[in-house]
Amino acid sequence: MKRDKKIFLKIEIGGIIFIIGLLIFLPLISSDTFLIFFITFIILFPIFLIIYLKIKEEIIKKWEKEAEKIKKFKKSNEYVYLSKFVNKYFNELESFFSEIERLEKLKEESKKSKEPVDKFISKTMFEFDISFFETKYKDILRKIDLLKETLEKKGWSFLKNELIELIEDEFKRQEYGRFKKRINGKKRKKLETYIRDFLETYWEEYENVEEQEKYLNFLKKFLEEKGFKTEKEELENKIREIKKEMEISRFEKKLFEKEKQLTIEEIELMNGYEFEKFLKRLFEKMGYKVIHTSLSKDQGADLILSKFGEKIVVQAKRYSNKVGNRAIQEVVAAIKHYKADKAMVICTSNFTRSAIELAESNNIKLIDRDGLNKLIDRFL
């Protein structure tokens, strides 16, 4: 599993600093005390050193044994169970690992807090979030337990944390695979063309500050596989430059379009059916194949989108007031009914705090008035 051998280096550097400090301090004491200290040190130091080296050797052997076990497991027929698990519950795991990453950052921040009050507050928040995390993700944690028991029956025993690390590794592999598949169309001769393909596909994701680093690393890795080696800073500058060119190009195109672009205020005057038809056109412009479900018995989905092999159900709400829990509950039911991979609720107003929390716990994407306005500005 993930082991940091640098910890031994830190211990050894700490030991050297301690010995140097001791040697500086000893001459300052009386000769008799110095002699006692010196003899004790000469006797005990080799003993402690032998014990430390023995413990270090045993720990490294254990880590190597675990690494060999993981290597064998990944080559075994049973690894397909883990791979299928990640593929089937990919969207739930995406939310699960994002939350783990957020908690790890919170933990690091609490360690950095210097003031006692700030440290206490950070620690309390972290402990509260951990408790909330276990409640929020109890369903996926239960599924992980079932996977653990299944693998044990097949002869592969892992601690829960070890299995979660294995799942995370496979999740990252599949996540990059999906990224690669989406922009790995025709063979491009220029770096700039690949970057344009990337921005056409991942514009929104790249604009998200929390996601930006991940997608930048994905693109860098992808380009290296295609024979384009570039430094991260250089790639960031290139993306920024091409992004600006694309924005100017779209703006110029809009200036000369005969069709008048609808404003969000005009969309608010539509009835529910007109709003759904408008969204159908918007998503088609975004490159989705769109099915507009019938007015009756839509089973919680007004639109069904398809792109990159994913099916997404959409609940459309042309509301002037805030959208509440019911819309989230309906689209959650629609996922199962239509065998969809993801779901979203899009509205002309905003969402209640309760609806946002319910959407987060069910991995439902929410697009409010401002989000809709951005999509209109970009695609229509």
Q: Is residue 270 located within the same domain as residue 246?
A: no
Residues 320-345 have a mean pLDDT of 92
**What are the phi and psi torsion angles at 263 (to 5°)?**
-95, 165
Considering the domain architecture, whether residues 104 and 149 belong to the same structural domain is answered as yes
Q: In what order do the strands lie in the sheet with 365-367?
A: 289-292, 303-307, 310-317, 342-347, 365-367
Average pLDDT over residues 170-190: 85
In this prediction, residues 254-262 reach a mean pLDDT of: 77
Is 232 inside any structural domain?
Answer: yes
Q: Are residues 294 and 331 in the same domain?
A: yes
Q: How far apart are CA 234 and CA 246, in angstroms?
A: 18
- Count of CB atoms situated within 10 Å of the CB of 276: 20
In a domain, residue 85? The reply is no
> CB-based burial of residue 103 (10 Å sphere; 0-12 exposed, 13-18 middle, 19+ buried)?
middle
pLDDT of residue 136: 78
Question: Which SS3 state, helix, strand or coil, does residue 292 take?
Answer: strand
- Give the closest residue to 290 by CA, choosing from 278, 304, 311, 300: 304
For residue range 314-325, list pLDDT tens digits in order.
999 998 899 999
Radius of gyration (C-alpha) of the chain in whole angstroms: 28
DSSP 258: S
pLDDT, one tens digit per residue, over 70-92 is 999 999 999 999 999 999 999 88
Asked if residue 288 is part of any domain, the answer here is yes
Residues 244 and 269 occupy one common structural domain: no
pLDDT of residue 129: 56
User: What is the tally of structural domains in the chain?
Assistant: 4
C-alpha distance from residue 184 to each of 225, 241, 283, 285 (Å): 11, 22, 22, 21
| 236 and 271 co-located in one domain | no
**d(C-alpha 138, C-alpha 361), whole Å:** 10
Please tell me the pTM assigned to this model.
0.74
Does 213 reside within a domain? yes
Using pLDDT thresholds of 50, 70 and 90, give the confidence band for residue 371: very high
- Of the candidates 26, 43, 75, which is a domain's last residue? 75
Residue range of the domain that includes 141: 90-177
Average pLDDT of span 258-263: 76
pLDDT: which is higher, 344 or 13 = 344
User: Same structural domain for residues 196 and 101?
Assistant: no
As a whole-number percent, the residues of the chain with pLDDT over 90 amount to 46
User: How large is the greatest C-alpha to C-alpha distance in the chain, in angstroms?
Assistant: 99
Statement: residue 249 has pLDDT above 70: yes
**Predicted local confidence at residue 218, as pLDDT:** 94
Name the strand (E) or helix (H) holding 290: strand 289-292
Residue 114 has pLDDT above 50, yes or no: yes
| Same domain for 354 and 268 | yes
Q: Which of 25-34, 293-302, 350-359 has the highest mean pLDDT?
A: 350-359
Scanning the structure block, which residue is given the tokens 């790249």? 206
Angle between helix axes 160-183 and 191-207 (nearest 10 degrees) is: 130
pLDDT for 113 equals: 60
350 found inside a domain: yes
Instruction: Indicate whether 268 and 323 sit together in one domain.
Output: yes
pLDDT band at 39; cut points 50, 70, 90: confident
Given a cut of 80, whether residue 154 has pLDDT beyond it is yes
The whole-number pLDDT of residue 26 equals 66
Domain end point (choices 255, 282, 308): 255
Q: Which of 40-54, 120-134, 285-299, 344-358 is predicted least confidently?
A: 120-134
Residue 117 confidence class, pLDDT cut points 50, 70, 90: very low
The reply to whether 48 falls in a domain is yes
Residue 81 inside a domain? The answer is: no
141 and 55, same domain (yes or no): no
Domain membership of residue 349 (yes or no) is yes
Mention every residue, 6+ apart, whose C-beta is less than 8 A from residue 220: 230, 232, 235
Residue 269 sits in the same domain as residue 342:
yes
Q: Please, what's the b/e burial string for 83-102 (b: 16 or more CB within 10 A of its CB; e: otherwise)?
A: eebbeebbbebebbbebeee
The two three-digit tokens of residue 349, written as one number: 């107003």
- The CATH number given to whatever domain includes residue 333 is 3.40.1350.10
Domain boundary among the residues 29, 45, 75 is at 75
Q: Are residues 60 and 130 in the same domain?
A: no
Instruction: Compute the mean pLDDT over every residue in the chain, rounded to the nearest whole number.
Output: 85
- Indicate if 66 and 102 belong to the same structural domain: no
At 48 the pLDDT is 86
